[in-house]
Structure formats: C-alpha cells, structure tokens
C-alpha cells in the first residue's frame, strides 16, 4: 500500500522510544529524541563514545546486547539503525505486528515512518519530508532555514522573483582542494554557533565531532556526510589526539572539505592549536572559526556575569583537569587565591575538593560565593549555588557531573533582585 505521508508532530516526552543500534546513525538521531524528552531504550552490543556518554549520564537506558522482542513492550516508536538488513527487517516486522511506527535507516521504502529534515528558529520547528529523498528534504530545509535566519520575519512575503529562482540545493564545498575548518560549536545551545560555523557545516563532506558539541547540529547534516565520532569524555575513553590529527590531514589531502567541530571555542582548552599545527605541517589549509566559550556563556545562562561594575573588574579562566597537588599542574593556585576578581574553572569537578581547599589555604575566604553550572545553556542545565568552603560537598550531594563550570567570586550574587 502506498500513499502520501501524513505529517505529524510527535510529543514524545516521557514516552518509550526504542533505538536499535549503537553506531553513527544512532549517534546522529539520539540528540533530537533526548531533546524531545523521550524515554529512550538503546539496544546495542557496542556504542560510540558519544552514545556511551549519554548512557553514563543517565539520559537513556542501555541494554548491551542484541534486540529482543520484549524490548518493544510499551514502546511508541522504534528507530532501527543496524547494518544487517535481515535483522532490520525482522525488527520492523515485530513493530508492525504491535502497531508501533518504525524508522529504518537501511531501507526507507520498508519503513512505516520517516524522520524529516528539521531546522529550528526560536519556538518555530520546520520539518520537511522529501518523498523518500533525504537530499531533496534537506535542500528545502536549508532554504527555509536561510529564509528564517535572514529575516526580517517568517510572515513577510518572499521577494517577487523567488518563484523564478526556485529552491536552492544544499550547499556544496567549493572544489579548491581539501581543507579543514576548526569550528567552535558554542556552549551547548545549538543556536549559539556562529553564522559562519553553521554555514561551514552545511558545506562539509566530513565532520569530526567531540561529545560536547550540540547534538542537534549533527542531526542537520546531509546524509552523505561522513561523521567521525571523536568524543572526548572527561575522565573516560577518548580517541588519541594524534589519531584525530591524522584523520583531519588524511581526509583533507584526499580533497575533502573537513569540519572539526569542537565544543565552545577551538582554542580554549580544545587542543585546536595542535590540530592546526598538524594540518599546517602537512600542507593542509585551515580556517579557524571562534566559538562562544562556556566559561562566559554557561555562567550567563545561570544569571551570573563574570564581571560587574564595582564588583569585579577582571576574570580568570583556568583548567581544573590537573589537581593542584600534582607535579603536572601548571597553575599557580596560590597566586589565584590572592586575586579579588572572578575565577572560572573548567573541567574541575573531579578535583574540586582539592582546588577549593587550596584556594582557601592560600587566602581566598571560604565564604566566597560560588556557583556550579552543569550542561549550561541546554535544556538539561542544572545549577547549584554555594560557597567556596563547601562547594565540593554540595556538588557531590547534588550528583552533578561533567561537563560543568565553576564560578567563584562576588559576581555570583551580583544580579540577584
């Protein structure tokens, strides 16, 4: 039976969605499901680092095995992203028998539901189906996104010659030889990437992405784009930096347009400098696109400025990845303790007890206000306010986890009304 698809917006908050498969396709689809608030059951023997991070953070439930029929108990939707067509067909058959809509990555014609090409502009969500052709859907989606972004408003009539121009296709890289763009994806909210960064994503043939990039940006990639998961999980598995460098160089030397997508800004504890040097050493041209760093944006998202008139005239951003008592530490914590301004600590949750104790020991008052912001600027943001002397204990009691920033200073209460 054939027919035109019936467009529908699914409200999945709190409803069970089963995802079968733990590879790149599932990685690209997962952020939209989590953003919708779905109760996700992920069934796969192995996961990409990005999916593993979601599981470790408790955002989804992972069953480390192959699919079983009972997995669909109570499900509203199933997404199948496995390499074996016969296994995908078997799962689809079970879903049909239970009247559960099934999205299949391997065979759209055999699926009972399709995932549209999506763009979001504030409260507006635009979803486009291309009659089974994802490239057509993305071309229309990109045209609508550009129209909404250009303004002045979505209700304004298009130019008189819009019909003659037709709908442009998705952007393609200019064939001037391979190149790499180091793009800062911003602090977490997908709308906080720069205009240039988003444009380069639409032109990319290869995207090498860390775990901390906004997942919804990956959901907008064209289907033919190669997505390399270079997830860097704090204190967890990571692809060696040398291997990441080699991937960038190899793809670019093969003539491809590569985007290295990094959370925050590429040059703020992002090892972007090492990647630039590796590319330059191989003769690969590099473009650097700065990003909004969480050091400022996550604090702002929690209502905390890093400077404020008559409160703080300077702020210092420091990595807390290495404990103050380690011989590998390059931070002069005793000097930081003597500053009156704002101290922003990135990657510091694991060592927060040692960091706060060191600052107090060297003279920073234990009563100094402190705030910890987890997953800042996202829908999963959590914030606790405390003081320097007890902030580590409060973080443990609240169960906060990376990624998070710590802000220490009187600015924490500067905007309280």
The domains of the chain, with CATH numbers, are 16-110 (3.40.50.720), 184-292 (3.40.1010.10), 295-413 (3.30.950.10)
Contact yes or no for 108/132 (Cβ under 8 A)? yes
What integer pLDDT is reported at residue 159 of this predicted model? 47
Contact yes or no for 336/316 (Cβ under 8 A)? yes
Active site residue 262: no
Q: How far apart are CA 313 and CA 307, in angstroms?
A: 6
| Per-residue tokens: 59 | 């955002």
Residue ranges of the chain whose pLDDT lies below 50: 154-175, 233
CA distances, 92 to each of 9, 11, 20, 106 (Å) = 21, 22, 11, 11
What integer pLDDT is reported at residue 266 of this predicted model? 96
CA distances, 381 to each of 115, 354, 375 (Å) = 27, 25, 5
What integer pLDDT is reported at residue 163 of this predicted model? 43
Secondary structure of 335-380 as H, E, C letters: HHCCCCCEEEEECCCCCHHHHHHHHHHCCCCCCCEEEEEECCCCCC
Catalytic residue among 219, 232, 262, 265: 232
| Per-residue tokens: 17 | 């969605």
CA dihedral 70, 76, 81, 84 (to 10 degrees): 40
Active site residue 232: yes
What integer pLDDT is reported at residue 152 of this predicted model? 54
237-281 per-position pLDDT tens digit: 555 888 899 999 999 999 999 999 999 999 999 899 999 999 999
- Sheet containing 39-43: order of strands: 61-63, 39-43, 16-20, 75-80, 101-104
Interaxial angle between packed helices 272-281 and 241-253, expressed in degrees from 0 to 180 and rounded to the nearest 10:
40
What integer pLDDT is reported at residue 247 of this predicted model? 93
Q: How far apart are CA 20 and CA 41, in angstroms?
A: 8
Contact yes or no for 212/263 (Cβ under 8 A)? yes
Catalytic residue among 210, 219, 229, 265: 210
The one-character DSSP state at 410 is: G
Closest C-alpha to 293, from 311, 306, 312: 306
Residue 381, Cβ density class (10 Å: 0-12 exposed, 13-18 middle, ≥19 buried): middle
Place of tokens 């039976």: 1
What integer pLDDT is reported at residue 239 of this predicted model? 54
């Amino acid at each position: 039976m054939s027919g035109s698809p019936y467009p529908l917006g699914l409200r999945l908050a709190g409803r069970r969605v089963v995802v079968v498969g733990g590879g790149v396709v599932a990685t690209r689809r997962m952020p939209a499901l989590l953003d919708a608030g779905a109760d996700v059951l992920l069934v796969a023997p192995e996961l990409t680092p990005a999916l593993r991070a979601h599981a470790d953070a408790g955002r989804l439930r992972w069953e480390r095995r192959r699919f079983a029929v009972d997995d669909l108990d109570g499900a509203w939707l199933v997404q199948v992203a496995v390499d074996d067509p016969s296994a995908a067909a078997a799962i689809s058959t079970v879903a049909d028998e239970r009247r559960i809509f099934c999205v299949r990555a391997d065979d759209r014609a055999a699926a009972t539901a399709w995932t549209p090409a999506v763009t979001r502009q504030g409260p507006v969500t635009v979803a486009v189906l291309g009659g089974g052709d994802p490239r057509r859907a993305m071309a229309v989606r990109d045209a609508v996104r550009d129209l909404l972004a250009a303004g002045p408003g979505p209700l304004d009539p298009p130019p008189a010659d819009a019909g003659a121009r037709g709908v442009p296709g998705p952007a393609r890289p200019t064939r001037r030889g391979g190149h790499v763009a180091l793009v800062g994806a911003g602090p977490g909210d997908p709308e906080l990437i720069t205009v240039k960064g988003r444009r380069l994503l639409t032109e990319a043939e290869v995207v090498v992405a860390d775990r901390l990039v906004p997942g919804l940006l990956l959901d907008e990639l064209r289907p033919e784009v190669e997505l390399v998961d270079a997830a860097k999980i704090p204190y967890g598995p990571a692809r060696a930096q040398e291997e990441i460098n080699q991937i960038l160089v190899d793809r670019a030397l093969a003539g491809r347009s590569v985007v290295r997508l990094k959370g925050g800004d590429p040059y703020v504890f992002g090892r972007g400098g090492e990647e630039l040097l590796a590319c330059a050493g191989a003769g690969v041209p590099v473009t650097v696109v700065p990003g909004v760093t969480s050091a400022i944006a996550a604090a702002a998202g929690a209502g905390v400025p890093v400077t404020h008139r008559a409160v703080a005239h300077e702020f210092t951003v420091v990595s807390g990845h290495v404990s103050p008592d380690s011989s590998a530490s390059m931070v002069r914590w005793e000097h930081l303790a003597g500053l009156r301004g704002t101290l922003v600590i990135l990657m510091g949750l694991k060592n927060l007890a040692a960091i706060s104790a060191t600052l107090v020991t060297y003279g920073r008052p234990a009563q100094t206000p402190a705030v910890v912001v987890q997953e800042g600027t996202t829908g999963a943001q959590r914030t606790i306010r405390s003081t320097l002397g007890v902030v580590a204990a409060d973080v443990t009691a609240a169960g906060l986890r990376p990624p998070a920033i710590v802000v220490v200073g009187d600015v924490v209460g500067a905007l309280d009304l």
